[in-house]
Chain A
C-alpha cells in the first residue's frame, strides 16, 4: 500500500543478515534485545499468573517520570527508570498480591507520575527526541553502554528468578498456604516487583514505556493459552518475545521510517490475535461442517438429518 517493501521475499536472508551484522549498532541491538526478550518473557509469565498486568503498565508509566527526571538532571535515564520503577513496584508490593484489583488507586497515582514526567520534560530543552525515545523506544539503535547496562542488570535478575522460581510460583498460586508454610510471601512480592522493575527498565530502551505491555504481559498471555505446564508456558513466552524482538529489529532495519518498537508490537499483536482466534476457529469448523447456516444446524430436524460432530461443549448438554 504505502512504502512497504517486503525485501526478504526478493533477497537472500542469509546475505541480508550478513550485511546487517557488519554494523556495530545492529550487533548491539541484537545482543541487548535477546537478553531483554528472555527476561521479559520469563517475567511476563509471573505477571500473568499474579494478575499484575495493570501493575506492569503502571510501572512503565512511573518509569517515564523517573527517566524524564534523570534526563532533566543530566543523569543516565536508565537509573531514573530503575529508581522510579523499583519505588512504585515496592509500593504496589506493599498493597499485596490483590493489588491487581486496586486499579483506581494505581491509576490515580500513575496519572500523577505521567504528569510529573511531562513537567520534567517541559523544563528540559532537548524535549522532543528524549521524550520520544523514552515513550516509544530508541529509533536508531542502542549504544554499547546501554548493552553493558542491560547485561549488568539483566543477568543477575535472571539468576534471582531461577533461584526464587519455585517459591514465586507457589506463592502466586496459593498465597495463603504459602504464608502458613512459613514462606516469606511479602518478600516474594517485593522480589517479583523488583524483577519486573528491572525487566521494564531494560526493555524500555528498545520498546519504550508506552508499549511495554507488548513485552511484559502479552507474550505470557499468549503462552498461557497454549500451555498449562509452567516451563512450557515460559518457553513459549520467551519464544514469542524473542521472535518479536529479532524479527521486529530485522524488519525495522530495512524500513527505517517505521520504528523498531512498532514492528515488535505488531508481531506480538498478530500472534495474540491468532492464538485468541484458535478456539473460535475450532468451533467454526464444527459449525461449518454439518450445515451452511447456523439456524438450520440448530433446528432439530436439520440436526437429525446431518448429525454434527460432537464437541465437548455440545456433549455435556445433550
Chain B
C-alpha cells in the first residue's frame, strides 16, 4: 500500500524508479465547491489504469490536475516526482472532445506530424528536422496500425479510425504517461475491444503508464493493473478485484450497491438510481 510521509520519488531519488504519479489526500474543486476529496493513489511506470465513474464525477478533472491545467484545492500531487506543470512533454493526452469533424479535410498524417514538436515555431527548415518528424510520425502510426489510413482525410474517418489517429498523435512524442479520456465512447463493443487491445499492447511494448477514462469497465477488465473509481465525491483506488466489490462501492456511493459477475467475468454494477447523480448536487 501507499507509504506515509514523504513521496516515494523523493525517497528513492528522481530516477526512473519513482512513480509516474502520486497523490496524497488530494482534493479538487471549482470555485470552492469540491468535486472530490481525499484521493490517494500511486501510478507506477507501465501500469494500465482505468478511471471509472458516473458522469460528472470528476474523471476529466483528474486529468486536468495531472496535466497541470487545474490546481489542487488541497493535498499533494506529483507527476514524475514534481508538481504537475502544463506542457510536460512526458505526458500524451487524448481529450474527449475534438474539433475534427466531417468538414475537416486534412490528411490524418498531418495532425500526427504537427503534434511532434508542436511547441516549435516556424515550419521545418532543415532536412534533419523533417526527417526526424517523418520517422517519429510513421513509427507512431505503424504502432497503432494506422499506416494504411494515414493519408485519409480526418473528416472521412470512422470513430475507431479517428481514435487510432488520436492515439498516434499522443504517442508520437514518446510519452511516459498516457491519458485517454473516454476513447471508447461512440465505439461499438467490437471496436472498443479492439482499441483496448491496441492500447494494452502499447502499454506493454512502450512501458507507458496509461490512464483510461471509461463508463463501462467490462471491455477493459482483463488487462487492468489498477482501478481508480470516482463517485459521489470520493475516490477509491486499488486492484480491480479490491475496488469493484459490493462493499467498496456501497461505501463509495453511500447507498447499497451490488456487483454481479457473469460466467465470463463481466461485471454488472447495480445500485440505487440516486447514486448515479452528480455528487455535488
Chain A interfacial positions (CB closer than 8 Å to B) = 49, 51, 97, 162-167, 169-170, 172-183, 224-225, 227-230
Contact = CB atoms under 8 A, between A and B. Distances in A.
Contact of B121 (A167, A176, A177, A230): A167
B221 interface: no
A173 B106 contact: yes
Contacts, number: 91
A169 B114 contact: yes
Nearest to A170: B114
Nearest to A165: B123
B10 interface: no
B106 A180 contact: no
A179 B122 contact: no
A278 to B, nearest CB: 13
A183 B118 contact: yes
A177 B95 contact: yes
B115 to A, nearest CB: 7
Contacts of A170: 111, 114-115, 118
A52 to B, nearest CB: 12
B162 to A, nearest CB: 11
A227 B114 CA distance: 18
Contacts of B87: 180-183
A220 to B, nearest CB: 11
Contacts of B106: 49, 173, 228-230
A175 B119 contact: no
Interface string B58-72: 000000000101000
B204 interface: no
B212 interface: no
Contact of A229 (B91, B98, B110, B122): B110
A173 B118 contact: no
A229 B99 contact: no
Interface residues of B, number: 35
Interface in B72-108: 85-89, 91, 93-95, 97-100, 103-107
Contacts of A179: 69, 86
B153 A228 contact: yes
Contacts of A163: 121-122
Interface string B214-249: 000000000000000000000000000000000000
Nearest to A173: B111
A235 to B, nearest CB: 14
A51 B104 CA distance: 10
Contact of A173 (B95, B104, B117): B104
Given A174-B169, A180-B69, A180-B86, 18 more contacts: A51-B103, A162-B123, A165-B123, A166-B120, A166-B121, A167-B120, A169-B114, A170-B111, A173-B111, A174-B111, A174-B115, A176-B98, A177-B115, A177-B118, A180-B67, A182-B85, A224-B105, A229-B107
B179 to A, nearest CB: 8
Residue picked from A165, A176, A228, most chain B C-beta under 10 Å: A228
A34 B67 CA distance: 45
B119 A174 contact: no
Given A180-B67, A180-B87, A182-B86, A167 B118 contact: yes
21 contacts: A49-B104, A51-B103, A163-B122, A170-B111, A172-B99, A174-B100, A174-B111, A174-B169, A175-B99, A176-B93, A176-B97, A177-B93, A177-B169, A179-B69, A180-B91, A180-B93, A181-B87, A181-B118, A183-B119, A224-B105, A228-B106
